[in-house]
Amino acid sequence: MTKRQFILHYFLLNKWSYLIAVACIFLVNWLQVEIPRYIQQAIDLLGKADPAARSNLNEYVMWVVAFSVVMVFVRILSRMYALNPGRITEATLKNDLFYRLNRLPNAYHQQFQSGKLISIINNDMNGIRLFYGIGFLQTVNVIFALSLTPIWMWRISPSLMLYSVIPVAVAFIAFNQGFLRMRKYQTERMQRLQRLSEQLMNYLSGIDLIKNQQMGPWVSDEVERVNTRLLDTIMRVTRIQTFILPLLDYANDLMKVVILGLGGYMVLQQGLTLGEMTAFLSYSALLALPLAQLGRIAVVYQMGMVSIESVQSILHAEIPETDRSLPEPGASAPAERTLSVRHLNYAYPGQDTLTLNDISFDIAPGEKVGVLGSIGAGKTTLVNCINHHLDVPEGHIFWGEDDVARMPRRQWRGTVRTITQEPYLFSDTVEANVRFGTDGQPIDKHQVNEVLALSQLSDDVSRFQDGDQTLVGEKGIMLSGGQKQRLSIARALLSPADLIIMDNVLSAVDYETERKILGGLFNRIGQQSVLVVSHRISALENLDKILVLHNGEIIARGTHEQLLDSSDYYRETWELQQHDVEESA
């Protein structure tokens, strides 16, 4: 969608509202220019003493009052119908953005920092709301005012009208120059706002580290540097605004001086009546507001254009082919299938070396498979290839007969549930965190309690002051690392999945809790396939099969007993870890 199509698309969303607003704004402007005409006729009648003139005078006054009252109501209507579409467009666009962000692949989110997205969703959306609301209202108002008023002036005296608009025309040329310069700074301003937001997000996420390592002064300097650059751009925009916005106001004042001088001279020469001269002055006063509005329209227009570009940068981001049409979640989740990984290689973009090298294995329906690997062996990369967070070429990962690379991600994620090593909790209660994402599914309290028990969290929760209604704080700050991990396991167990992947999820619990959680878990999820990734053999020893991953390659595979016999690496790791288990017992 080009920028023009974008603007039109969202205008058409509220076309009826805008049409009513245009009709109202036209009516207000028409009434506005009609009133001075009646005032002019009333003033011209003032000198006449005959009774007919008096009754006409009364009639004119009545018309002026009636027009003014109608104008007030129509103006309110025009504001309602012109401003509401701005808010509706803002809300619609926020939904559109969120919908798209939800479907974009991980690679996109890695490039685009959350701070920048937040800035677009707040600051740029503000620009768009003004563009579709007050910007529209003032533009239509200015168009009608600047076209109707001069016509009414022309009807009184063409020559006085032409002379009086000269100051406005000159001011307009100067205004246009300033307007063009301001565009560049408006773009810069929005970009710097996004940069500041990105930076603040970054620092706030690591606030504990910053405090612990006494990085405060350095961080303050960095924020101040970005903030100063933002202020610098804002000051440039303000300087231009301060200079060019009043130009049109001054031009309007000059216009009145011309009318008083030239018009007064014409009255003395009897080329103009006093009423006509008064009407002319009223028209010039009517032009004051639209001329002042021109400046504001320029600012709103530029902010709108810059904001639309930012929003389009998200809306134009490519959604993978497979994710364009979305099946309902879980609608086609097939059970009893084998996961087959065939000769899988993976290298991160821009890297020459393979992080995964010729990986092949199967997980049969209901089978529990472990992956053992040291730090950096490629375990998380393997998990992210399987759950389709990373883009893998076709022909390497299959779910039954289906190639996972061709399946819509949403459908695949209805089948596979990944519990990651960095649990993310939302700032809500324990129960809401367990239930997160299950809206619409009939899940009762008993099921919530069951998964809390399975993940060995029931005792902890019963000790919390408000039980499962305890607020966990932002990102679960009120919970220990192990509690966070267990809560994220409980959440994953609540909704059904055919394949459960647990990526190092028990690293923060002790060996005994780990054993209990896994024991309970495997009893409960008998029919589901499980892939447990860990660098602790104790988490894997009872599984049906263990794959030993080393530097991106599978160097051994088998049951715990088989590996103790066949793999030196496995046996040595086991012996080393046995020592830790004994120490922790």
Ligand X SMILES: Nc1ncnc2c1ncn2[C@@H]1O[C@H](COP(=O)(O)OP(=O)(O)OP(=O)(O)O)[C@@H](O)[C@H]1O
Give the binding site for ligand X (CB under 6 A). Answer: 348, 351, 355, 373, 375-381, 535
Q: Please give the C-alpha separations between residue 312 and each of 40, 96, 300, in angstroms, as whole numbers.
A: 52, 11, 18
Q: Which is nearer to ligand X, 123 or 421 (CB)?
A: 421
Task: Give the H or E element holding residue 38.
Answer: helix 15-46
| CB nearer ligand X, residue 119 or residue 420 | 420
For 112-226, where are the E strands, in sequence order?
none
The distance of closest approach from Cβ of residue 108 to ligand X in the complex, given in angstroms and rounded to an integer, is 13
Contact criterion met (CB below 8 Å) for 529 and 498: yes
Amino acid in the structure at residue 215: M
- Pick between residue 388 and residue 535 the one whose CB is nearest to ligand X: 535
Is the separation of the CB atoms in 412 and 495 below 8 Å? no
* Chain position carrying tokens 């009423």: 275
179-187 long-range CB contacts below 8 Å, 24 or more apart? 179/244, 179/298, 179/302, 181/240, 182/237, 182/240, 182/241, 182/244, 182/298, 182/299, 182/302, 183/302, 183/305, 185/233, 185/236, 185/237, 185/240, 186/237, 186/299, 186/302, 186/303, 186/306, 187/306, 187/309
Give the shortest CB-556-to-ligand X separation in angstroms.
Answer: 16
Beta carbon nearer to ligand X, 106 or 241: 106
Q: Which is nearer to ligand X, 368 or 379 (CB)?
A: 379
Going from the C-alpha of 347 to that of each of 74, 266, 344, 392, the distances in angstroms are 65, 85, 10, 10
Does an H or E element contain 530, and which? strand 529-534
Residue among 390 and 494 whose Cβ is closer to ligand X: 390
Query: CB 562 → ligand X: shortest distance, Å?
Result: 22
- Please report how close the Cβ of residue 549 comes to ligand X at its closest, in angstroms: 7
Min CB(316)–ligand X separation in Å:
24
User: Minimum distance between the CB of residue 555 and ligand X, rounded to whole angstroms?
Assistant: 14
Q: Which of 79, 104, 97, 87 has its CA nearest to residue 308?
A: 97
**Per the structure block, which two tokens stand in for 554?**
């599978």
Residue keyed to tokens 């025309």: 169
DSSP 386-431: HTTSS---TTSEEETTEEGGGS-HHHHHHHEEEE-SS----SSBHH
Dig out the tokens for 410 from the structure. 């949403």
- Shortest spacing between CB 552 and ligand X, in angstroms: 7
Give whichever of 264 and 376 is closer to ligand X, judged by the CB atom.
376
Q: From the CB of 348, what's the least distance to ligand X, in Å?
A: 3
Residue 379 CB, nearest distance to ligand X (Å)? 4
CB 373 within 8 A of CB 535: yes
| 126 in Cβ contact with 10 (< 8 Å) | no
Cβ closest to ligand X, residue 197 vs residue 420: 420
Nearer to ligand X, 354 or 564 (CB): 354
